[in-house]
Structure 1
């Protein structure tokens, strides 16, 4: 079997029973179950959710996106072997740890296959919550140009690139286009301050102003748990993105939970500890792929300049990357995942067939 066969590149055409359109993102596809199937599974599996909670099957692919484009490899390798399994395994690990330590639950109810989650519908908080422990990337580029205020927080002069920040920095941005919030432009992914959130908590989908404090507490505690665990593996947790939402449990209690994914090589920067101490940056996350792309193309400005989006899209569409580039990414993702979970990663030989088999035999969701 070729490597290309082991890659799940297309994940929005599976014959999973649904009566709604399949939502396909850059990496994950979501199949909302029928009301009948949701109720049946809640009863059969004893999930701790309201009996009428909508459930979905979330299937992760091995596609790789960077600079807002999806990239392909030669030989029909339209993804990175092991990437989806690595992301799911890492996120499952951290969500499980958060639950064990009494922080908060996640949206995941069940894991039928390494590439599949059964999730409950959450009412999302409309914030991409970025937490930063080091000054690097876009923040460093802005700082170097003289910017000192980030999301209403003032940074001191005299910081150097890749240095640890005086304290954990929360730099939130909007998730989606939010209308009618004073001082906040109605565009996706715009930086906001803490006072923007507190003064307009309902517009961001918070239940109360007190829940803004709770989200910050869960963010800081979650970051601390991951940072400490990675430090024991001699890895540096640089920054990450958290997302939150509300769900209702079996007893009718509404609660704030972690959702999306957390602490993965896609949503975080992770540096190798020994290399960092010797003055070098070795990325154990998607950042290494971004650097590979910047070095691979003759005009890296196409990838960095938002005004050249049309050229960038054409670049991704018309170029296949050498398979060794994707294998290098595979080694990075699988390597950091196995470090974190502490055992060998389970990678499917024929993911599509396996997923359909388990969803048919154990969940009766494939006709």
Structure 2
């Protein structure tokens, strides 16, 4: 199986913000979203990764961004790599617009427990699991670690959105859902439910962000299964169901997924992609990390090399600054960490996708300590700064040539 992408760390881009699936790197006017192969259920990350998941999600979002751009503009700028999107920075509206057409998932569980008004929507008696709802509804949630149900009235009363902005989001979400339904219906799929996220761009205009109509943000049924009353999910819902069936309880460790289940989830994602787009999915032979790094270098997003200068106390800061300036002049990204005052764990640098070298400024005991922590080459700063920089660049060159 092709190597999967659990997470990324590219030091020259700074520390990423890690969502459930995406690693987010901040630029001045843009964000870089890297879709990993992580999978979460009920807002908890599973230990397992799913082959090609990040690439499949990105490809499907691109398909749907193109299909819906006449309804609403989206945040996409460019795609430098199959797992990566460069997008516009915007003011994120902290609401997930969950659009539902069928009585499934958490909606059914609440309804079966006796609730008839959910997220401000009143539902009639007599509905059964998997039933078509009387109309398409929106059950919004507040974005948080564990998304919380809310309602149009609550959001407006609390000042989260104005009534005018809500109405625009509601209308847009319903139009997007209708576009999704009409697109997948002739291809033998039913869009059961989905979620949309929106933001405001620098002009204050509403734009679509995150992802759209992917197996992570949506539930699908195959029409033939639904007509046979076999409501099977070929996507993330399969993982949710497995976890439920194997004793998941809130706050307790998630059960592990056996390889057979991991493979079924991958096949489900792939099948949904091929059915929606009409294109055959092609697996890759090269490690995803290598391909990702090369594409970011080819697109001049990164240099693909990095130096970390580490000193024990502020006493060594002046020396570190001089070395840093020389490295910068040589076109080599670098940072300085003073371990006495830093809250950044050095072990995170062992996860760097790009080759890096560490320069340690301190006594022998300190230098050995740093060398024991880091897996990358650690060089003790020479008495001469020029010699230190030359040795560092030489070591970087050796790493890059491997």
Interval containing the TM-score (normalised by the shorter chain): 0.7 to 0.9
Superposition RMSD in Å: 1.8
Tell me if the contact between 1:356 and 1:366 (Cα under 8 Å) persists in the aligned partners.
no
Kindly report which structure 2 residues correspond to 1:295-334, keeping only aligned pairs within 5 A, or say none.
295=245, 297=246, 300=247, 303=248, 305-306=249-250, 309=251, 311-312=252-253, 315-316=254-255, 319=256, 321-334=257-270
Relative distance call for 1:26 and 1:176 in structure 2 (3 A) is closer
Partner in structure 2 of residue 126 of structure 1: 94
Partner residue, 1:86: 56
The equivalent of 1:6 in structure 2 is: 3
State the partner residue of 1:242: 196
Q: Corresponding residue for 1:185?
A: none
Please say if residues 85 and 347 of structure 1, whose CA atoms lie closer than 8 Å, have aligned partners that are also in contact.
no
Shift of 1:346: 4.4
SS of the equivalent of 1:106 reads coil
| CA–CA separation in structure 2 for the residues paired with 1:164 and 1:322 | 33
Partner of 2:295: 358
**SS of residue paired to 1:291:** helix
Query: Judging changes above 3 Å, is the alpha-carbon distance between structure 1 residues 32 and 144 closer, same or farther for their aligned structure 2 residues?
Result: same
**Unpaired stretches in structure 1, ≥5 consecutive residues:** 36-53, 73-77, 178-187
TM-score by length of 2: 0.71
Aligned partner (choices 224, 232, 240) of residue 290 of structure 1: 240
1:58 aligns with 2:33: yes
Scaled by the length of structure 1, the TM-score of the pair is 0.78
Is the 8 Å Cα contact of residues 7 and 23 (structure 2) preserved in structure 1? no
Correspondences of 1:1-367 after superposition (within 5 Å) = 3=1, 5-11=2-8, 13-15=9-11, 17-18=12-13, 20-33=14-27, 35=28, 54-72=29-47, 78-99=48-69, 102-176=70-144, 189-200=147-158, 203-204=159-160, 206=161, 208-248=162-202, 253-295=203-245, 297=246, 300=247, 303=248, 305-306=249-250, 309=251, 311-312=252-253, 315-316=254-255, 319=256, 321-348=257-284, 349-367=286-304
Structure 2 CA distance for partners of 1:211 and 1:192, relative to 1, 3 Å? same
CA distance in 2, matches of 1:104, 1:95: 9
8 Å Cα contact 1:89/1:341 also seen in 2: no
In structure 2, the CA distance between the partners of 1:195 and 1:69, relative to structure 1 (3 Å rule), is closer
SS at match of 1:197: helix
Relative contact order, higher structure (CA 8 A, sep 6+): 1
